[in-house]
Structure formats: C-alpha cells, structure tokens
A and B are shown apart, each in its own frame.
Chain A
Amino acid sequence: MEYFLQQLINGLTLGAIYGLVAIGYTMVYGIIGMINFAHGEIYMIGAFISMITFLLLGLLGISWMPLALLIVLVSAMVFTAVYGWTLERIAYRGLRSSPRLTALISAIGMSIFLQNYVQVLQGARVKALPPVLPGGFQIMELDGFVVQLSYLQIGIVVLTVVLMTAFSLLIARTPMGRAQRACEQDMKMASLVGIDVDRTISTTFVIGAALAAVAGMMVTLYYGVIDFYIGFLAGIKAFTAAVLGGIGSLPGAMLGGVAIGLIEVFWSAYFTIEYKDVAAFSILVLVLIFRPTGLLGRPESEKV
C-alpha cells in the first residue's frame, strides 16, 4: 500500500510533465493537422535554458529560492517561446499547404538540427545540477518504508494545475482563444471573417513551446540530469499521451499525460524497468486499435 502510494505520487509528477509537453502536440495537431516532431526538442531546449539560467543566478548571487525559481520559469518560457516561434516561421509556415509528408520531413529535419545544435553548443555529456529544492513531507511510515512527498513534487503538480487552468481559460474566454478554436475548425472560414491565421498559428506554437519549457524546467529540477537527447523519448511519450487522450483535446492531453506517467512508473515498479518504454508504446498501439479517437477525442467521420 505504501509502495503503491509512493509510486502513485511519482507517477503523477511524471505525468504532469508529460501532460505539459503533450499540450503542445495536441494544439499544433488540432490547428494544422501536423505532428510537430521537433516539439520534444523544444522541451529539451527549455530544460537547457532553465539550467543555464539557474547557473547564472547562482553567479549573480540570487539565492532566495522563490525569486530564483520565478526568474528561471519566466526566462525559460520566454526564450523557449522564441525558439518555438522561429521553428514555426522557418520550418513549417512555408509548407502549410504542401503534402503532409513534406511538413513531417521538415519537422524531423528540424528535430535532428536542434538536437545537434544543442550538442555542438553545449557538449554531448550529461549535465548534472545539484538538487535545488530538497526536502519534503513524510506522509506515512510503515515497516520502515517511508512515503515521501517532496516539495518539488508538490510544486510540479501545483504549477501544472495552475498553468492548465490558466491555459484552459485562455482558450475558452479570450478573443485569442476564440481565434485559435476557429482556426482549428476551419482555417479558410476563419481567415474570411478576419482572423489573422498566421498569427494564430504562431501563437499556438509560442504557447506550446512555453508550456514545454515549463516541463523542461521541471525535469531539470526533478531529475537534476539532462542531456541533448532527452527530447526524443519524452517527445514520443508526450505524443503518445496526446493520442491516448484524444488528439486535439486539451483535457485529453493532460489526462493522457498522467496516464502515461502512471503506466510508466507502475510498470517500472512492479514489472521490469528495462521495458518501461515498451509498455508505453504497447498502450499506444492498444488504444489506437481499440479506440482510435483516444479517451476524450471526438469521433471523426469519414467523408467521401
């Protein structure tokens, strides 16, 4: 029971991170129907930028943790968002009306480019950051097994919930969100009624990148080790989460993220840790075969 509870906590934390990345996939897919393959790399860049900001703050002597975390959060979001914007501007905008495969290849090319860009600039070796926010609560203790809930885990889940709420409100209540939803339904119609489609798509990428940056910062703090390759696997898993939740659906992305996080953690805890990635993919295959629209997705009708 205690072991289960501990794994549940770990799984929820991991799931929150996947969920934040998954939102970027699901939004971009929703609006331009394309897998933004380089999104995992954006997340990786977010992780690197937050690490660099952390080190910089250390040099500047800002050690009051709440302020430092806030600065890191904001700077990671801002800089990564610019990366997201540039990505869309360079690699996707010119290809919007091209065959789907073209855009996918461009995205894969961008993903390879960004990965090696960071590798060349920051080195291939694993970067380790000392624990930033140690400590936590002991929820219960039984037979010497302590269930830990670290401050960091609380912070990750709370921040995710806050961001998700803010983001849902943004999509549901603001003119920008309305434009976004309109473009998702019918881009040509939206442009006819005066919505700047280019800008809306750019905004989508910017928001997705900012959320991925938050996930990248969380992963930097949570695990303390990052390298230039973390984006690939996290990206695939987050995409799996988006599909699992129903692609195009925002609550679905979050739900899918949590589900993937839990599956992965429980699989490692009770079965074999080596095959945890296989578990995530098997779930993806099963979902797609038996419920191709995902958990919360709308069924898509086939038109002739």
Chain B
Amino acid sequence: MAVAAVAKTPSRGVRALREAAVAAVVALVLAVPLLGFETVQMQAGLELRTRWSWVAIAVASVFTGRLLLALFGSRARRDTPSPRSTELGRIVRQSAPYVGPVGVLAAVALPLMPFSDRYVLDVGILVLTYVMLGWGLNIVVGLAGLLDLGYVAFYAVGAYTFALLSLNFDLSFWICLPLAGLFAGSFGVLLGFPVLRLRGDYLAIVTLGFGEMIRVILINFSSLTNGPNGLSGIPRPSFFGLPFTAAPADGGATFSSFFGLAYSPLQRVIFLYYLILVLALLTNAFTLRIRRLPIGRAWEGLREDEIACRSLGINPTNTKLTAFAIGAMFGGFAGSFFATRQGFISPESFTFIESAIILAIVVLGGMGSQLGVVVAAIVLIGGPELVRQLEDFRMLAFGGLMVLIMLWRPRGLLAYREPTIRLGTAGAAVVSGPPQDGTQAR
C-alpha cells in the first residue's frame, strides 16, 4: 500500500494499522458483489441470495492478514534474487550429487513400503507423469528458452496416436509407445516450423492457440476420434506379453501365474508406477546428456542471446525446431503412458489448464533445473491431492499457490543455475566441474 507522505513519520504500528484498514476497505469492495450475493438458478429464473457473513469473514481475515504482514513481514525488495533463494540453490547444488540418487532410490522403494496402498501409488504415478512432462517441457522452455503454452497438444497427440494404433491395429504397448513419440515429435516439427521465428510472448500465444486447435479438432473430428465421448477400451500394458489379469483370457499365462504369485490388482499399479518412473528417468538422462552435446549448448546459447548465436553461425530456426520436436516427443511418450494407464481418453483431459500446470511446474522449479521440476511437481500435484476432499477449493488453492510461489521466489524454487560451460579468464572454454558428477542431477 502506498503510504501517504506525512510530515512526521508514523510508527510502524500506526502504519501497519493504516495499511490493514486500506486493505480491508478494498476487500470489502471486492467482496460485496461476488461474496455478498449468490445467484441461484431457480425454476422461475435467477434468484439472488445474500450472505453477508461471508463478506464479514473475508474482510476480517484480510484485515488481520495484512496487519500481521505489515507488522512481522519483511519489506525486502524482490527485484534482485534474494540471498536466501540463491543460498538454498547453492546448498541444493552442493548436495545435488547425493539428492539425485537418493531421490531415485526413494522413488524405487516407494511401492515396497508398508504404507503404500493403491492411493499412494496412484498419486505417485500422477506426480511422476507430471515430472516426466515437466522434464520434457524443460527441454523446450528451460534449455531452449521457448515459451510453449500448448505443450498439452503433444501430450494429446501421443495419447490419441497410442489409443488409435492399439485399438485399430492391435499393436502392443511397446510398439505403440515409440510410434506415438515419433508421431508427436513430427507434429512438433510441423507446428514449430512456421512459428518458431516468433519472439517469446507471441510464440506463447500461438502455441496456446495450437493447443486449443488440437482440442477443437479432437472434439469435432468424430469419425476418427469419437468426438467428445473419447476413446475407451484402450488395452492395458502387459509385462512383456504377460497380462495383469486374474485369469488368462485365452489360456496363456498371466503375470501372476507366470511368476507364481497370488493375483492382486495392485500388481498392475506397481508395474505402471515403475514404467512411468523408467520413462521419466530416461527423459532426465536424455536431457542431461544432450545438454553437453553441441546441440544442447546451442539451445542454451539461443536462450541467452539469439543474436550472438546467429553471428556464430547457429541456425536458430533449426536449433529451436530440434528442441521443440524433442520436447514434443517426450510429451508424446507421456501421452501414451496416460492413455494406457487410464484406458480411456477424451478431449476433456487435454485442456489449456494442463499446459498451464506443466509450464508452472517448470517455472516454479526454477527454469532448467531438473531437480526443481521434481520438487515443483510434488508441491503442485501432490499438495492439492492431499486436500482432495475439498474438491471445489483444489484449483482455487492451485492458482493461489502459483501466484504466491512466484511472489516468494520469482526465479523458481531452486533458483541457482550454473552455466553448463563457462569461459575462463583467459577466454578459454573450461567445462565447469567434472562432467560426470557435477551436472548430473541439477
């Protein structure tokens, strides 16, 4: 709140009170129309109901919140990365060689834990799906610096490719998966080719438009996609040909009978969990490796300074196109996993909000930080999952959380990012740190 300049500076308490009062007045104005009145659709038409108690609660809580913030909150400027945030990043970076493997071990061990029931595993699968999507998008946004708001389009293309291939041609999961990735990747090239010359924000809006277009086409191209009803009966994955069913369908072995285990529906969930874990880790390994190839360096160079890159003879369009296509390919992989896990897909699953969530995971994690993506996915996907019973408030909390995290850490949760390569004082290129462990799990 802008405090009016007065001759004698009022004490902190007075100032806090005044700011809180201003905030309360604003809250009152905000609350009266939307909190104060509720529109109810009745038989005879719309009716208004009042609920002044809500307004009172809202105003009171804003007043208290603002007062507490003004009294005890710090007034630190946020335009420079706060030392705390960099400090945290540094700590994370120093412990990165350990955090990565420990995290992987924990993820591997999760299904074996005594507390892991169906629900925990389902949340785990969900979080890992978003981790994988986040890592895939991180190639596009974090490494190449291309703002893609339509990532869900490739997710959808992957899912539909998988579903259509396996439904129409009866191909197995392991054949459909790479095909879906390839198809999504070519789609990325197709979409990327005309638009990658655009600058940041324009690119964002065009990709957003593409995402919506794909959804509209999926809804209306009924002969192929079955329209808004979606595709159902997508085959479940099998363990190298061994289905996860109680009784073999055609006299063959099932997973449980082959390994001599008692049948449990949990087996498939655990398999799906490990499947997405492996897929996600593949994405991570790929990203970490490709960062050190010339193409990966070119991406990071383009992100930092496009003009300098052009003057060095890097073709920006082709370089961006590779990033776009590779990101799309991983989106396609994740999409086919989604299709096989759900067994049912419809255009409903591929709305803009999905793109926004994936992008939020990348940015909240600290762009380009692999570990940050994991942290952000756990916070954003796992967090709201904990308050599942408050169904209506889940997305409300999600949106609010996005704003708050951005205000608190404008550069992402793990803000610290070391350049992959650093120029030495003499101008010679020196690779930062030993390449094997230095940049592994960032």
Contact = CB atoms under 8 A, between A and B. Distances in A.
Given A51-B39, A95-B406, A127-B41, A122 B201 contact: no
B281 interface: no
Nearest to A33: B201
Nearest to B311: A304
Given A94-B78, A98-B411, A122-B34, A288 B402 contact: no
Contacts of B217: 275, 278
Contacts of B195: 285, 288-289
**Chain A, interface SS category:** helix
B367 A82 contact: no
Contact of A109 (B212, B367, B399): B399
Contact of A56 (B48, B78, B209): B48
For the side of the interface on B, what is the size category? 35 or more
Contact of A284 (B209, B219, B367): B209
Given A281-B210, A285-B195, A240 B34 contact: no
A59 B403 contact: no
A32 B213 CA distance: 29
B48 A52 contact: yes
Interface centre among A49, A75, A79, A113 (most CB of B within 10 A): A113
B116 to A, nearest CB: 31
Interface stretch (A6-14, A83-91, A161-169, A250-258): A83-91
A67 interface: no
B26 interface: yes
Given A105-B406, A292-B202, A302-B307, A113 B34 contact: no
A252 B437 CA distance: 53
Contacts of A109: 360, 398-403, 406
Given A99-B410, A274-B220, A304-B307, A108 B356 contact: yes
Given A112-B395, A130-B45, A288-B198, A281 B37 contact: no
Contacts of B307: 302, 304
A42 B32 CA distance: 16
Interface in B361-419: 363-364, 367, 392-393, 395-396, 398-403, 406-407, 410-411
A118 interface: yes
A292 B38 CA distance: 44
Interface centre among A109, A115, A240 (most CB of B within 10 A): A109
Contacts of B400: 109, 113
B40 A106 contact: no
A297 to B, nearest CB: 11
A97 interface: yes
Contacts of B41: 123, 125-128
Contacts of B407: 91, 94-95, 106
B406 A102 contact: yes
Contacts of B29: 79, 82
Interface centre among B205, B213, B360, B401 (most CB of A within 10 A): B205
Contacts of A75: 33
Interface centre among B307, B353, B410 (most CB of A within 10 A): B410
A112 B78 contact: no
Contact of A113 (B78, B220, B403): B403
A119 interface: yes
A101 interface: yes
B406 A281 contact: no
B359 interface: yes
B46 A56 contact: no
A113 B356 CA distance: 12
Contacts of A199: 2
Nearest to B194: A289
A59 B220 CA distance: 43
A140 to B, nearest CB: 34
Interface string B40-71: 11000111100000000000000000000000
B200 interface: yes
A205 interface: no
A143 B40 CA distance: 43
B402 A106 contact: yes
B391 to A, nearest CB: 10
B78 A95 contact: yes
A232 interface: yes
A85 to B, nearest CB: 8
Interface in B198-229: 198-202, 204-206, 208-210, 212-213, 216-217, 219-220
29 contacts: A35-B205, A55-B37, A55-B48, A79-B33, A85-B26, A94-B407, A98-B411, A100-B200, A106-B403, A106-B406, A109-B399, A113-B403, A114-B399, A115-B395, A116-B396, A117-B34, A118-B34, A119-B392, A120-B396, A122-B38, A123-B38, A272-B220, A274-B220, A275-B216, A275-B217, A277-B216, A281-B213, A285-B209, A289-B194
Given A45-B34, A120-B393, 8 more contacts: A52-B39, A95-B410, A102-B363, A109-B401, A116-B395, A236-B208, A278-B213, A285-B206
**Top 7 A-B pairs, shortest CB-CB distance:** A109-B402, A113-B399, A112-B399, A281-B209, A98-B410, A97-B79, A116-B396
